[in-house]
Structure 1
């Protein structure tokens, strides 16, 4: 599996042809925010190619320290699924990044079918070398389990690097309103606007 960095046009094409159909609006970061991060050198959009054929993608958000990367989106293209491509993409990412942070929705929706899907998603990452960290987070009103793959054994150090992804982009006011990292046990999750509501998008992603 080869990982090729996408340019702005290629990321836009992937977003419009694939991601808008795969991710619901409240889970889909605005394209213009991704492009801005690319312009700032803080985003690594990768197309996974195997035997010359596109198979999937990994979109990573980079902290200012450049220590590790947040795996924001991992996807296998429609028509290419159920063949182990996702695991092969993660394996290839291990050659590019020695530390990866992940956020997987916590199985706390109250819907048994949805929570089973979330547990299986977490299990996929565990089978591919990640571990569940001893802290959780909430982003824009969504509760996540925090995951990590790398050499660091101190979860506090991982947490600091993980949080640095967001502090390098959002203002302190936005951090307080939208980003709960860590999410303390029993802490209420802050309600937040959907990313793709036009007015809120302008406010959150200036």
Structure 2
């Protein structure tokens, strides 16, 4: 039986050092100091998912504003040896329960339309389909972040899926916490798809 636990800073660091370098390419992995800074501002809730022996199976790291009603999934991964076993889909009901005070969770997924190769199109479609099977819904909000085109999904928790302008407002607020003003201006371009 899988259970969820909110992680303290030492546990976040331990998972970062032990597992995240394998799961994410260097270009996508923020420096730990950035995570620590957000955590110390009360804007980086992180969760581990453990089996009945208390062994880590998966983890989810979120960015948020201090009092915001939404959190943005920053990193999510199942340990390498457990991928494809169904653990990933079991984490979402646990997140909904654990984060019940939030209106919902935001997720960025690379857009299918911007993929250059058929293999990448298939990978992105599978990722979107996985999140939709877990209860997430596609919105019309999008983001161009570091030159990468993202669609924004919402996992509703306490409220139904909001209008795209609400999603966009929440996303912009979270980006302003994640990035200083100069970096925000250079790399973040949230918008609503026509």
Q: TM-score, normalised by structure 2?
A: 0.88
CA distance in 2: counterparts of 1:153 and 1:5, whole angstroms: 26
- Residue 129 of structure 1 corresponds to which residue in structure 2? 135
User: Measured at CA, do residues 32 and 171 of structure 1 come closer, stay the same or move farther in structure 2, by a change above 3 Å?
Assistant: closer
- Deviation of 1:169 after TM superposition, in Å, equals 4.0
Q: Secondary structure at the match of 1:83?
A: coil
RMSD: 1.6
- Residue 110 of structure 2 corresponds to which residue in structure 1? 105
- Residue 163 of structure 1 corresponds to which residue in structure 2? 172
User: Measured at CA, do residues 131 and 144 of structure 1 come closer, stay the same or move farther in structure 2, by a change above 3 Å?
Assistant: same
Q: Secondary structure at the match of 2:93?
A: helix
> Alpha-carbon deviations, 1:133-154, whole Å to 9, x = none?
1121111222111111212432
* Unaligned segments of structure 2, at least 5 residues: none
CA distance in 2: counterparts of 1:148 and 1:41, whole angstroms: 22
> Alpha-carbon deviations, 1:45-92, whole Å to 9, x = none?
111112122110010111233212111111111211211111111111
Q: Secondary structure at the match of 2:80?
A: coil
- Residue 74 of structure 1 corresponds to which residue in structure 2? 76
Decide which of 57, 60, 69 is 1:58's aligned counterpart. 60
- Residue 202 of structure 1 corresponds to which residue in structure 2? none
CA distance in 2: counterparts of 1:21 and 1:169, whole angstroms: 23
CA distance in 2: counterparts of 1:7 and 1:68, whole angstroms: 20
CA distance in 2: counterparts of 1:16 and 1:59, whole angstroms: 14
CA distance in 1: counterparts of 2:192 and 2:182, whole angstroms: 17
Aligned residues: 185
Q: State yes or no: 1:153 paired with 2:162.
A: yes
Decide which of 137, 144, 147 is 1:138's aligned counterpart. 144
Q: State yes or no: 1:177 paired with 2:186.
A: yes
Q: Secondary structure at the match of 2:68?
A: coil
* Unaligned segments of structure 1, at least 5 residues: 186-206
Are the equivalent residues in 2 in contact too, given 1:64–1:165 (CA < 8 A)? no
Q: Secondary structure at the match of 2:61?
A: strand
CA distance in 1: counterparts of 2:26 and 2:8, whole angstroms: 23
Q: TM-score, normalised by structure 1?
A: 0.83
- Deviation of 1:183 after TM superposition, in Å, equals 6.5
CA distance in 1: counterparts of 2:180 and 2:11, whole angstroms: 29
CA distance in 1: counterparts of 2:192 and 2:104, whole angstroms: 22
